[in-house]
Chain A
Amino acid sequence: MQTEAPVAQADVSEPDLVKRCQKGDSEAFDELVVRYRTRVFGMIYNMVHNEQDAWDLAQDSFVKAWKSIDRFRGKSSFYTWLYRIVMNVTIDWLRKKQVKAGGTEFDDNVQLREIDPASKTVPRAEALPHQRMERREVRSRIDEAIAQLSPEHRAVILMKEMEDMQYHEIAEALGCSIGTVMSRLFYARKKLQNLLKDVYENV
């Protein structure tokens, strides 16, 4: 999985960083945050469709991760463990907010920076105004479609399609069986295909 780690820090293995964190080394945790902050933020943003909420929830997730790092036993990858926290925080928040399908939670003022798919950190060159408008429309359609899924279905399809996670990793992150993951993926895809077919066929 691609991470945001600078070249100098990429040499430090993740298990070493985790061990240092468990001994109270906050600098090691800072390095883990740098590696995963963009992906965590992106994942949450796609779940909640609001930049400020995504920012706050990402912060909450990392705070929880730091506070419970002692309980990480290394049975799964740190990233899967972190995603479990991220999903718990986000799904709890969505349930509390009781988001109704229909896109009422959208923030139209959000200025999203689309980035090169090859790199998750480098923004594209500025697009022309009509291109920006088109992208914003596409983004809005996608957000509306995703908002019609339950939090669990959102989580499954986003982890699979955007994070390219394996079934068992998604199952670990969500605390459910692989069969449940596959079943949710089936229905989430069907629903999004129905809602977005005209979008991806015309893009």
Chain B
Amino acid sequence: MKTFEEKWTAWIDGQLTGRELEEFLASLPDKAAAEAEKQSAKQLGSLLREQAVALSNADFFSHQLRERLDRESGPARSAPDAVQTGWWTIRRLLWGGITSLAVFALCTAVVLREKTPSSQSQYLTEILTYRVDPTVSPNATISMFQPKDERVTVLWVEGLQSLPPEYATK
């Protein structure tokens, strides 16, 4: 159901036809005044159409627009370049990843190799095999500390009458 405003507008623009038009005209209290209004609306339309403005410097308008589009969306306008750039980036990422993995593997190998004792220290062997001579130092006691996780051995000796010559030399 059209409102009065919609029907009026359609009537002004010649869009009201048939029964709708008849009903609308019959509903108008003053047809002469309505016709004058319609004429006035037509004149208004003519006046507005006469005010069309020209775009001066139309070519410059296009030129400026082209420059702006190139500036603002340059990469997007060149699809092949974008694809190439994409592949270049992917290749670089791939090579970067492989190189990083290789460096990581190398460092890991070096660290593990250093952590694993290849053989027992010659000093430890000597300490373990050392015996204090009971004839020289009868009250001597010897204790040895070797923490499991640390690569150090502490030899604690008490009651020595004299320092064994091996200590002095090592």
Contact = CB atoms under 8 A, between A and B. Distances in A.
Given A38-B55, A67-B73, A201 B43 contact: yes
Interface stretch (A8-16, A79-87, A91-99, A182-190): A182-190
Interface in A164-188: 167, 179, 182-183, 185-187
Contacts of B58: 4, 34, 37-38, 121
Contacts of B78: 24
Interface string B45-67: 11111111111101001101110
B47 A200 contact: yes
A192 to B, nearest CB: 6
A26 B6 CA distance: 42
Interface stretch (A56-64, A101-109, A125-133): A56-64
Interface residues of A, number: 52
B54 A162 contact: no
A183 B61 contact: no
A192 B44 contact: yes
B154 interface: no
B5 to A, nearest CB: 4
Contacts of B53: 41-42, 45-46, 112-115
Q: DSSP class of A's interface residues: helix, strand, loop or mixed?
A: helix
Contacts of A34: 58, 62
Given A34-B62, A161-B48, A186-B9, A115 B40 contact: no
A179 B2 contact: yes
B52 A162 contact: yes
B48 A203 contact: no
B68 interface: yes
Interface string B30-46: 00000001001101111
B128 interface: no
A42 B41 contact: no
Given A66-B69, A67-B73, A196-B44, A183 B54 contact: no
A24 B79 contact: yes
Contact of A63 (B12, B46, B49, B65): B65
Sort A-B residue pairs by CB-CB distance and give the 10 closest, nearest first: A186-B5, A182-B6, A200-B47, A41-B55, A182-B9, A161-B48, A200-B43, A161-B45, A38-B55, A113-B54
